[in-house]
Structure 1
Amino acid sequence: MSSDIIQNNAFGKVTTSVFSDQNSLTTTEGLLIEHQYCQASLSLYGGHVLTWQPKDQQPVFWLSNDTLFGNAKGIRGGIPVCLPWFGDFENDLFKHNKSVDFTDVNKTLVANHGFARTSLWQVENIEITEKSVTIILIKQGENQTPAWDIAYELKQELVFGESFSQKLFIENKSAKDVEYTGALHSYFAVGNPKNTHINQLSDVEYFDKLTGTYNNISILNNCEGPIDRVYESNRVIDIIDKDWNRIIEVSSSDCHQWVLWNPGHETAQNMVDIHAGGENEYVCLEAANTKPISIPAGSKVSFAQKVVIRSL
C-alpha cells in the first residue's frame, strides 16, 4: 500500500502507511495521524492503537522494537483490544459453557485475549477538527468461533488530540443473548516502573494472578514487575512517573476493574517480542471487565477509557 493522504486540512492530516517488524518479516497496513496537538499511529490489524504523543511530550504508549505485525499474534505494545474474552480462554468465561465441546476446537479460535486483537478492522470514518482527529474503526463477523457463535459488530471511536479517548461498542446482532469479558490493554511508556507509582490502588482489593490469592489489600510501592493483579476498582487513576516528571491520568467508563501488569525481567527474557530491557520501559494499566457482562439479543454495550497528561 503506498502512502496516500486520506484527509488533510489546516489542522492536520491522516495518511495510509505500512508498518513492519525490524526484520521486515511481518507487515500491517495502518494510518499515521499528524495534528497540531499530537502525532499518532494505528494498525488495521487488531484495530490497534500503536502510538500517541501529544505535542512537547514523551510518547504515551510503549511499542516493543521486537513486536510482530500479523502472523496470528497480538502486537506487543500500544493498546491491544482484548475481546470477546480476557486472558486465557480455558480459565476464563467460556470454561463454563457446557453447551460446546471445545476439546477439538482449533486453538487459534480460542487464543488468549480473544480474536479482536488479531483480526483485520476497517476504517469507517475520519474527521479532523481544530481540537482533534477522530477515527472510527469497524469489524463485523458471524460464527467466527464456537466460543462466540453469533453475528456481531465491533466499533471503536478513537479521538487523538491533547488528550486521547477510546470507546469500544459491541453489538449483538443475533437472536440469542451472549456474554463477553474484555480489556483495553494499554502499555503506558514510563521512565522506569520502579520509579512509577499508582496511589489509588494501594487500598483496593485485588486478585493476584501470580499467587492465585484474593482480597489482599496492600500498599503498592511501585509498578516494577513481576506484577499481575486485577483490582476491583473503576476510580480515576494517576500513573505518577517520577523519572519523566509527569502524571498519566486514566479514567474508564462502564468498566469494573483495573488490571496492572508488568512481566519483570525473568519472564520478559523468555518473551521473544519484548526487546532487551523493554520491561523497564512500560507499565500496563488496563481498563477491563474481567467478569462476564451480558449482551442481550439485538442490543449493544460499550466501554471506554480516556487518557490525559499532566505535569508532576
Structure 2
Amino acid sequence: MSESRNKPPVSVTPGQWSFTRWRTVGQLEALEVYHPLFQATVFLQGAHLSHFSPRDQNNWLWLSELAKFQPGRAIRGGVPVCWPWFGDPAKNPPEIRKRTLSPCAHGFARTAVWHFEDVRESAHEVEISLSLKANEDFAEQWDGHALALITFSFSVRGCQIALTTTNLSRQPLAFSQALHTYLPTTDISRTRLLGLGNSQYVDTLKNWDYFSQEGPIYIDGEIDRIYESGEPLTMVTPTGKCKLTAVGSDSTVVWNPGPEKAKRLSDFPDNAWQKMLCVETANAAADYRVLNEGQSHTMGVFIGRA
C-alpha cells in the first residue's frame, strides 16, 4: 500500500505490526524491526538500542562480542541511556548529588525495565516509544519523581533518539544524562572526530582540569572528556563518515578506555578499544538541567551518514 512521505507513521495494536516483532535475546525482551529499508533492535531493559542499519549495511553502532543480555546487567555497546545522573555521582553538581542515594555510575535507567508505549509504522519510517517512571520503586537509589519518555525514529536516512524528562514532583529537579553512543571503526588510530575544535573541555583523567581543543580529536589511548559543546559532529573512519546532530544538549562526552582500562572492563575484549569510540550526547557537568514542577526537557541526537 503506497503512502505519502509526509504522512505520519500509523499506530497499530501489538500483533498487527507489519515490520516490528517481539523477540527474546538471551534473557531479555526486545523489539526487532525488519523494515524493507532498515533494521533495528531495541531492548525493554534500559530502553537500549543495540542495532541500527539501513538495508545491506553493517550495524551503525558498536556492540561488544562479549555483551551479556541478562536482567540487571548493562549491555556493553549500542546506546546505553545514562539517567537521571551521568557518570560518578560524587562528580556531579551538588543539586544532583543530594538526590543520588547510590554510588553506582550513570543512574538506574540503563538496567531498569522500561514500559512499552507504542509502535508507529509507515512505508518509510518506524517509531518505537518507551517510558520509565522514576517513583517509589527507585527510592533507595534516587530522591526524585520524574517520567522519562524515549522515542526512536528509524528511516533509511538514519536513526533519531529523543529522551524527554518531565518533573512530576513539586520541587525543582536537577539531573544529568547522556546517550552513551558507541560507534564502530576499523582502526581507532586512523579515526578522527570533527566539530569540537576551539571548544573547552574537562579532562577527567587530568584532575578534572579545563583545557582547550584545537582542531580534530585523535585517539591514541584512553580518553574521557566532557566538551562544552553541542555542535554537530562528524566521526571520520577509514571506511566512512558518521554525523551526529544533537538537540537539547550543550555538552558532549568523548570516551575510549584505551589498552589498559580495556583489560579491566566487563564484557569488553582486550583489543576492542581499537574498534570503537563513544561520542555521547549529554547534559553533563556544567550543562546539567533543572526542571520546575511539571516542566519537561528533551535531549536527543540524529545519527546519519555525512
Q: Partner residue of 2:183?
A: 188
Cα 1:266–1:7 shift into 2, 3 Å: farther
Local SS of the residue matching 1:301: strand
Q: Partner residue of 2:17?
A: 8
Aligned AA (1:165): Q
Using structure 2 for the length normalisation, give the TM-score: 0.88
Q: Partner residue of 1:167?
A: 162
Question: Does residue 1:286 correspond to 2:292, yes or no?
Answer: no
Aligned AA (2:185): V
For 1:67-78, what aligned pairs fall within 5 Å after superposition?
67-78=67-78
Alignment deviations for residues 198-256 of structure 1 (CA, whole Å, 9 cap, x no partner): 122232211111112213333445234311111111111011112x1x11010100101
Runs of 4+ with >4 A deviation: 94-98
Local SS of the residue matching 2:195: helix
Question: Does residue 1:251 correspond to 2:245, yes or no?
Answer: yes
The answer on whether the counterparts of 1:231 and 1:257 sit within 8 Å (CA) in structure 2 is yes
Question: Does residue 1:132 correspond to 2:125, yes or no?
Answer: yes
Question: Does residue 1:18 correspond to 2:24, yes or no?
Answer: yes
Name the stretch that deviates more: 66-75 or 34-43. 66-75
Task: Calculate the aligned-residue CA RMSD, in Å.
Answer: 2.0
Distance 2:134 2:154 in 1: 27
The answer on whether the counterparts of 1:224 and 1:262 sit within 8 Å (CA) in structure 2 is no
Aligned AA (1:18): T
The answer on whether the counterparts of 2:90 and 2:97 sit within 8 Å (CA) in structure 1 is no
The answer on whether the counterparts of 2:47 and 2:110 sit within 8 Å (CA) in structure 1 is yes
The number of residue pairs the alignment matches comes to 288
TM-fit CA distance, 1:94: 4.8
The answer on whether the counterparts of 2:96 and 2:176 sit within 8 Å (CA) in structure 1 is no
Unaligned regions of 5+ residues in structure 1, if any?
21-26
Local SS of the residue matching 2:280: strand
Distance 2:25 2:217 in 1: 37
Aligned AA (2:272): G
Question: Does residue 1:295 correspond to 2:291, yes or no?
Answer: yes
Distance 2:190 2:37 in 1: 28
The answer on whether the counterparts of 2:45 and 2:71 sit within 8 Å (CA) in structure 1 is no
Of the candidates 298, 302, 306, which is equivalent to residue 306 of structure 1? 302
Local SS of the residue matching 1:218: coil
Aligned AA (2:279): L
Unaligned regions of 5+ residues in structure 2, if any?
1-13
Distance 1:119 1:164 in 2: 23
Q: Partner residue of 2:29?
A: 29
Cα 1:96–1:251 shift into 2, 3 Å: closer
Distance 1:202 1:279 in 2: 23
For 1:31-50, what aligned pairs fall within 5 Å after superposition?
31-50=31-50
The answer on whether the counterparts of 1:187 and 1:283 sit within 8 Å (CA) in structure 2 is yes
Q: Partner residue of 2:228?
A: 232
Alignment deviations for residues 266-311 of structure 1 (CA, whole Å, 9 cap, x no partner): 110111310242212111000011132101112211111001113x
Local SS of the residue matching 2:260: helix
Alignment deviations for residues 88-146 of structure 1 (CA, whole Å, 9 cap, x no partner): 01221357755x7x7xx5xxx44100011110012110011111110011111313236
Identity among equivalent pairs (%): 26
Question: Does residue 1:268 correspond to 2:262, yes or no?
Answer: yes
Distance 1:145 1:256 in 2: 29
Distance 1:96 1:156 in 2: 21
The answer on whether the counterparts of 2:80 and 2:181 sit within 8 Å (CA) in structure 1 is yes
Cα 1:234–1:218 shift into 2, 3 Å: same
Name the stretch that deviates more: 212-221 or 254-263. 212-221
